[in-house]
Amino acid sequence: MLKVLYLFLAAGIFSGTSNLHGTSKVTAEKQFVNRKEPAEVYKPNPQDHPFPALFVQHKIKGDHVFIECIVTGITFRETEQATQKVGKMIVWIDGKRNSVVDSAAFIIKGLKPGKHKIKLEVVSLQNVPYGLDKEFMVNIPE
């Protein structure tokens, strides 16, 4: 068995067509020589997202929570009803409906000290859920 393996490797090495890994040296070299451009790497861009999506960032300052959202595929401008889906956002705090927002950036003011669960839900103008929501916890300092 070892003699057969040795002969196979020796034949490949002397002919210059294979290396220890069994791949062709010429083919491997051509792969690197012919590649003129780097491989493309996918970087998601929220503006190009093909389906409606909700991205949320928040920051706490005192008893205020600053919220910034990117909503793809849905607009908050009622004037664009002919070209896009239009919606609004319902803000829930600790499981209770708190307010309705029609902008992507807003502030929740006056939260009591302690932990709170905030849920943002994107709905149509007729309050039909689009299936986009985000939940996160905030801790308001004393």
Q: Are 107 and 64 in contact (CB under 8 A)?
A: yes
Q: Return the exposure string of 87-106: e unless at least 16 CB atoms fall within 10 Å of the residue's CB, then b.
A: bbbbbbbeeeeeeebeebeb
Q: Are 63 and 53 in contact (CB under 8 A)?
A: no
pTM of the model as a whole: 0.63
> What would the CATH number be for the domain defined by 46-140?
2.60.40.10
Return the domain boundaries, the chain: 2-34, 46-140
Give the model's pLDDT for residue 124.
93
Picking from 53, 55, 56, the residue whose alpha carbon sits closest to that of residue 74 is: 53
Q: What is the pLDDT of residues 66-117, one digit of tens each?
A: 999 999 889 998 888 778 889 999 999 999 999 999 999 999 999 999 999 9
